[in-house]
Every structure is written in structure tokens, then in C-alpha cells.
Structure 1
Amino acid sequence: MTPSLRHGLRLMSLWLVWLLAMLFHVDLGLMPLFHGQSPEIHSHVEASALPWLFGAMLGYFLLPLIAVVLIAYACTSSAPPQRWRAWRRIHFWFSVVYSVTNLPHLIADILVPDARVDQIVLMAGLVVVGLLINLEGWSWWRNEPAANG
């Protein structure tokens, strides 16, 4: 197995695990609905800003899906190896942004007065998976011999 394919498989798996955990985080947040309780969190977001917020969340979920597809193409392309080097660099920094956004979310989940342990554990897992994505992305970008893409 080539180094590019090895990194690609690891990255695709990690991103998919991250996405599933993120969806489960949202799902767990809604679980009180099924037990006659309100999942409402007191929000300071104006109703007029909600469409923007929903769009931002859509983008937050779609970008990792796009990354998975681009990783698959980068690792299986018959094009010259250097063609995908810029994508590997962009991917690494993209993954760092996602890790940076998960840390405040974890902290916020911990600081919520009625914090739920399941949500905190899941967010901690998301942070760990994000850090693994960062490490693998760094390795894919920096440590791979130029001949292997």
C-alpha cells in the first residue's frame, strides 16, 4: 500500500467517525424530546439570525464530506503526485480549524449549568478524533516523499 493511500484511508475513516460522532452529538441533544422533556437551551441568538446559523451548520457538516471525497480522489489519482500537494496542505489547515472550533464547544458543554455527561464525553471524543485528523493530515502533507504524492 502506498503512503498516500494509507494516509487517505486513515483520514477518510477519521473524518467519517468525526461526522458520525457529531451527528450523534446533535441526536443526543434532542433525546429529551422522546421523553417528554424540552431540549431547549436558552439562546441569545435573534430569530432573524437563525437562517444564517442554520446555513453555517449546513456548511460545517458539508465541508468534511467534501474533504472525504477530495481525499479519495487525491489518493487514487493517476495524475502526477505534486498535483494534490496543495490540497494536502489545505486539508491540514482545514482540519486545524475544525479542531479549534471543537475546543470552545467542549468548554461550553462543560460550563453549561445543567451539563449532561454524555454530551461532554462525546465532545471530548470529537476533540480527540479531531487531533488524530490533525496528526494524520500533517503526516500526509509533510512526511510523504515527493515521489509518492
Structure 2
Amino acid sequence: MISYQEKLIALWTVFLLGTLFHTQLGLMPLFHGQDIAIADGHNSVNIAYILWGMLGFFILPMLAIVVMVFNDSKRYRIMHLNLTIFYTVLNFLHFVLDLKIIPIVWYQITLMIVLLLIGLLLNVVSLQWLRADSQYKKIA
């Protein structure tokens, strides 16, 4: 039987790969000097801040995966569930904002829908893990 941690690690990995693909779809043309559809508010923002933000967005799930391998505590499960909910909210907002960029880039929208669905599944499995008995208690 697959543990909740294994399911969550697989889901976070798929989520991060999808996020990487979404990022590359937007950044690759930008790095090659090609114009991409970016809302006017983004044009005034230094690209370094965007890249630092993306790095933070990647690091939190990476840390969640590492900690999950070594920690099965109730406190961590609660923190993890809150993290998945936070990412679901961010993904929903990102999806809504992507719909406002003209022209609408449908392959990006499709990917955001997939990422949002994976995020919802992360929420469900994380909640199940929170409600499950600790495997350390079962061993003792």
C-alpha cells in the first residue's frame, strides 16, 4: 500500500514539473529577446524580483518534500495542509490573471487548469494524511 507521504511526494513532483513547464513557456521567449504577452503591471517590475519569487515558489514544495520524508508529526501535517491550501489559492489567482492577459494563451490556461487540479488533489491527500494515525504510533 502506498503511504500518504509517497502520494504527496509524487503529487508535489508532478506539480513542480508542471510549474517548471509553465515557467519555461513564458520565460524562454523573454530570454531570447522576444515579446511575450505580459500585463502592463509586469513591465515595470524588475525581472530579478520575478525570478526570486519563482525561486521561492519552487523552494517551499521542495522543502515540504524533504521534511515529509523525515517527519510524520501532527504539527507538520497541519503545516503541510496549510501550504497546499496556500498554493491552491495562488494557482487559482494565477489562473484568473492569466485569463486577463490578451491575447489569451490557451496552452498556458490548459496547463494552469491541470496544475490547479493537481493542487486540489494535494489538498485532499494532505487532509487524509492529517486525519490518519501517525505511522510512528502504529510501530510503537
Question: Which structure 2 residues correspond to residues 3-42 of structure 1 after superposition, within 5 A?
Answer: 6-32=3-29, 37-39=34-36, 41-42=38-39
Distance 2:35 2:41 in 1: 17
Equivalent residue, structure 1, for 2:64: 67
Distance 1:43 1:104 in 2: 17
Distance 2:83 2:27 in 1: 28
Equivalent residue, structure 2, for 1:55: 52
Spell out, residue by residue over 1:48-93, the C-alpha distance to the aligned partner (whole angstroms, 9 max, x if none): x554443222111101000011111125xxxxxxxx1100110000
Spell out, residue by residue over 1:26-49, the C-alpha distance to the aligned partner (whole angstroms, 9 max, x if none): 1122454699842252442444x5
Equivalent residue, structure 2, for 1:44: 41
Distance 1:134 1:93 in 2: 9
* Bigger mean CA deviation after superposition, 31-40 or 87-96: 31-40
Distance 1:56 1:34 in 2: 17
Give the CA RMSD over aligned residues: 2.5
Equivalent residue, structure 2, for 1:125: 114
Look up the equivalent residue of 1:10 and give its one-letter code. Answer: K
Equivalent residue, structure 1, for 2:103: 114
Matched, 1:91 2:91: no
Contact 1:102 1:126 (8 Å CA) reproduced: yes
Distance 2:138 2:98 in 1: 42
Seq. identity, %: 35
| Deviation for aligned residue 1:131 | 0.4
Distance 1:16 1:6 in 2: 16
Gaps of 5+ in 1: 76-83
SS in 1 for 2:71: helix
Contact 1:95 1:130 (8 Å CA) reproduced: yes
SS in 1 for 2:3: helix
Equivalent residue, structure 2, for 1:78: none
TM-score by length of 1: 0.79
Gaps of 5+ in 2: none
Spell out, residue by residue over 1:103-140, the C-alpha distance to the aligned partner (whole angstroms, 9 max, x if none): 01111112212011100000000100000000000000
